[in-house]
Structure 1
Amino acid sequence: MTADATSLHALLDGGTPLNWVLTGDSITHGLVHTQGARTYAEHLHELIRGDLVRTQDVVINTAISGWRVVQLLEDFERRVATWRPQVVTLMIGTNDCSTTGALGTIEASEFAASVTEFVARVRDLGAIPVLQTPPTIDPLNAPERSRIGEFVQAIRDVAAAQDTILVDQFARFSELGADKVNQVPWALMGDPFHPNAAGHAVLALGLAEALGLEAEPVRDRVLAGLRGQLLLAH
């Protein structure tokens, strides 16, 4: 258990209302690909303010589709600081690894430096940073993002170096897709790199477990969402 995890448990046990900020790119933004169903951020909102009856907590989603970590750093005040958070989660990398786009191509080492800076800024606010790896992609149909494995490893390395809570969503999706075509868990995907509604439920379960929250209500909803689909066995 990291020191951050211990601090989070102390906050939760203390009963003080918390501000949770979830930020990142389109996966956290959650548009289109859930087809109107809940995103993982909305599942977390229901878990915290509903199932856990932390009704005075506030869960805020500030992610923006298409963004990279450098843009989050440039807009850090609006995306993170202005909300005076106690917990900040970051899921990023799917756009950062792309070899197309207006911001050009960056290396995994540059990405890691920016994620490290993000963690430092969150801690300067007195908040707890939580790093999430993005889910897997289908590199055959999204070849511009085929470097995602390098960027996922960069997030893992930053989490280890900075002793942050890590939610390895990439590893979970990889396991679920291990016996599927191209190792992609298609029942969880809306396109080659965006999770669908079932995928967001799985993301929510991974986040809840990593944060040490009561995961059973989310797990029940995940299984309900996957019922009748090939991945139910996982």
Structure 2
Amino acid sequence: MRTLSRLLAAALAAAATLLVPATAHAAPVTGRPVRIMPLGDSITWGEGSSTTSSYRADLWQRLTGGAGLAVDYVGSARSGSLPDTDNEGHSGWRIDQIIASVDGWLATARPDVVLLHIGTNDMNQNYEVASAPARLGTLLDRIHAGAPSAVVLVAQIVPALDATIDARVDSFNAAVPPVLASRAYARLVDLNTTITTADMRDTLHPGDAGYTKMADLWYAALEAELGGGRDWPLLRTGLEPGETATTWTDTAEAAVNVGGYQANLAGMETGPRAETSRGGANALMYSGNDLSASGSYSYMRVFDTHLRLSAASVLTYWIYPQQANGTYVAVDLSFTDGTSLRDSGAADQYGVRAHPQFQGEGGRLAVNRWNLVRVNLGALAGRTVDRVHLGYDQPAGTGPFRGYVDDLAVTGSTRQAADPAAAVNLALKHPATASPACAPAEDAARAADGATAGNSKWCTGTSGATWQTDLGAATTVRTVVVRHASSGGEQNAWNTRAYRIQTSTDATTWTTFATVTANADGITTTTAPPATARHVRLVIDAGQQDGGPTARIYEVEVYSA
């Protein structure tokens, strides 16, 4: 597997690195944003997208908001509605036309990663189809010559609705792997087999749903290049503004003998509510009424996704049942092969099957409190999540049920904790103090409230500022996650450049847990040898990327794993 240090060797040679005690390890950080060039034709530009954003907007959100990377799209073209509209998408262009201009683009942009989707117009125009794979090889060689340290992700291109054109597409795609076989800098990404006719806006171009699938596939492929051991969520949401929103509300996939929680409702409800939350303002509310003691169920659609699972994939969520019947509820995953998580035999951290019925019978979900559920999906590696459901399933018993689900994530990182208690943020909603804030609504408590939406941050302009929290009791600290400016939707230039993490048992004598320099990312995860601490402190050495003192910290998370 290539790592970020391999990918950005030239950049890292000139930049400082994350400094931690000698035996510590952490997700790599860079001294600048990762430069990504989306390269291709009108599909890269965004034809067929309602905002001409192509896959680039969704991919941007996943890379910056999910993985916490500082990203700079590069290219001479501009299109779309997203924070960075740069790209090299050129409508109607064939492979040979890209070859004719790529040298200049590369010299100007100096990309670290190239996302290449090209060949659609060769197939559409029936232009020397037999030699198109050879032209692709020539293009790859030119890219490698112009950007020798860059990794090139090469797409098997999306299908066409015209049968004749699509047959050419299939032939071209079949020839792509042999072209890549002798080019170690290039990696194959299949963007063809999961795009359906329903995902296409016209003969050649995906619609918004198709572009979202493309973003998911690019994102999954980029973990090997940019992950470097960091948390790499395929899906993560707390239902807050700016986070992944539900695709459906109150929409049943299948239901038997389940009515509404209230008399005027016909069936089970699911949807975001600002009524209670584990952190932030919103959670996914569920409610219904079991009408039969001989078997009842309701599986509700929540998210339309396209998440390819790996051996390291894990599902986590928090659930707050409001009565015993409400414990017969679980997040369920439907896969593109027609199977589901609930019927897979997968189990949670306690060995209880990941099925609504067994979750209720397992006795591990307490009423009127938040419960963590963690399911290892490694045995399902290779399957693709098509939809996320919330299911109620009760073989015996009747009556109303209600509750909430929050902080749902499907992650692909190997950094998952084996012990469920170790996955708990020890700093969440604990007392915090800090140097003077930029404004009264940006005080120390905002960096421990579990939210990054709605400008929920601690901001300070004090030179050498500190922020600290009291965990309540001495405990083992192994990992500290800091969410900087861009994790809350602000610009990368405001991400904290340099800081120290310190620990203490008495808030008087402090020991340096880790020192971070030359950071540009929106989320930093630092793991070091375990320290016993009741208090954790940040010391800001350089607030902004230009060295200015202002620091914007949206969240500090402390973990024992």
TM-score of the superposed pair, with normalisation by structure 2: 0.34
**Residue matched to 2:187:** 165
Amino acid at match of 1:96: D
* Residue 43, structure 1, aligned to residue 58, structure 2: yes
Amino acid at match of 1:91: H
Given that residues 205 and 222 in structure 1 are in contact (C-alpha distance below 8 angstroms), is that contact kept between their aligned partners in structure 2?
A: no
**Residue among 183, 194, 212 paired with 1:201:** 212
- Give me the whole-angstrom Cα distance separating, in 2, the residues matched to 1:154 and 1:145: 14
Structure 2 CA distance for partners of 1:119 and 1:167, relative to 1, 3 Å: same
Alignment of 1:150-161 (within 5 A): 150-161=171-182
SS of the residue corresponding to residue 123 of structure 2 reads coil
SS of the residue corresponding to residue 53 of structure 1 reads coil
Higher relative contact order (CA 8 A, sep 6+): 1
SS of the residue corresponding to residue 216 of structure 1 reads strand
Structure 2 CA distance for partners of 1:13 and 1:75, relative to 1, 3 Å: same
Give the drift of 1:193: 2.0
Amino acid at match of 2:88: T
Structure 2 CA distance for partners of 1:135 and 1:221, relative to 1, 3 Å: farther
% identical aligned pairs: 25
**Residue matched to 2:72:** 58
**Residue among 128, 136, 143 paired with 2:159:** 136
- Give me the whole-angstrom Cα distance separating, in 2, the residues matched to 1:222 and 1:154: 38
Amino acid at match of 2:205: H
Q: CA RMSD in A?
A: 3.2
Task: State the Cα deviation string for residues 178-222 of structure 1 (Å, max 9, x = none).
Answer: xxxxxxx23311012211001000000011111115242489959
Give the drift of 1:76: 0.8
**Residue among 73, 92, 95 paired with 2:118:** 92
Runs of 5+ unmatched residues, structure 2: 13-26, 75-86, 238-242, 249-300, 307-333, 336-385, 387-561
Given that residues 20 and 85 in structure 1 are in contact (C-alpha distance below 8 angstroms), is that contact kept between their aligned partners in structure 2?
A: yes
- Give me the whole-angstrom Cα distance separating, in 1, the residues matched to 2:235 and 2:246: 10
SS of the residue corresponding to residue 88 of structure 1 reads strand
Given that residues 205 and 218 in structure 1 are in contact (C-alpha distance below 8 angstroms), is that contact kept between their aligned partners in structure 2?
A: no
Task: State the Cα deviation string for residues 21-50 of structure 1 (Å, max 9, x = none).
Answer: 01101111103x122274212222222233
Alignment of 1:1-234 (within 5 A): 1=1, 7-8=6-7, 13-17=28-32, 18-31=34-47, 33-36=48-51, 38-55=53-70, 57-60=71-74, 61-99=87-125, 105-108=127-130, 110-124=131-145, 125-126=147-148, 127-140=150-163, 143-144=164-165, 146-163=167-184, 164-173=186-195, 185-212=196-223, 214-217=232-235, 221=244, 224=247, 234=386
Amino acid at match of 1:82: T
**Residue matched to 1:181:** none
- Give me the whole-angstrom Cα distance separating, in 2, the residues matched to 1:4 and 1:112: 28
SS of the residue corresponding to residue 89 of structure 2 reads coil
- Give me the whole-angstrom Cα distance separating, in 2, the residues matched to 1:81 and 1:136: 32
**Residue matched to 2:535:** none
Give the drift of 1:113: 1.9
SS of the residue corresponding to residue 147 of structure 1 reads helix
Structure 2 CA distance for partners of 1:223 and 1:149, relative to 1, 3 Å: farther
- Give the length in aligned residue pairs: 212
Given that residues 8 and 112 in structure 2 are in contact (C-alpha distance below 8 angstroms), is that contact kept between their aligned partners in structure 1?
A: no
Moved more, 11-20 or 58-67: 11-20
- Give me the whole-angstrom Cα distance separating, in 2, the residues matched to 1:131 and 1:89: 6
Given that residues 69 and 93 in structure 1 are in contact (C-alpha distance below 8 angstroms), is that contact kept between their aligned partners in structure 2?
A: yes
- Give me the whole-angstrom Cα distance separating, in 2, the residues matched to 1:148 and 1:72: 18
Give the drift of 1:79: 3.6
Given that residues 118 and 157 in structure 2 are in contact (C-alpha distance below 8 angstroms), is that contact kept between their aligned partners in structure 1?
A: yes
Runs of 5+ unmatched residues, structure 1: 174-184
Q: Greater strand share, 1 or 2?
A: 2
SS of the residue corresponding to residue 214 of structure 2 reads helix
Given that residues 246 and 303 in structure 2 are in contact (C-alpha distance below 8 angstroms), is that contact kept between their aligned partners in structure 1?
A: no
SS of the residue corresponding to residue 65 of structure 2 reads helix
Give the drift of 1:66: 0.8
- Give me the whole-angstrom Cα distance separating, in 1, the residues matched to 2:52 and 2:100: 31
Amino acid at match of 2:143: V
Moved more, 220-229 or 59-68: 220-229
Amino acid at match of 1:224: T
Given that residues 38 and 89 in structure 2 are in contact (C-alpha distance below 8 angstroms), is that contact kept between their aligned partners in structure 1?
A: yes
Structure 2 CA distance for partners of 1:15 and 1:6, relative to 1, 3 Å: closer
Given that residues 133 and 155 in structure 1 are in contact (C-alpha distance below 8 angstroms), is that contact kept between their aligned partners in structure 2?
A: yes
Structure 2 CA distance for partners of 1:24 and 1:136, relative to 1, 3 Å: same
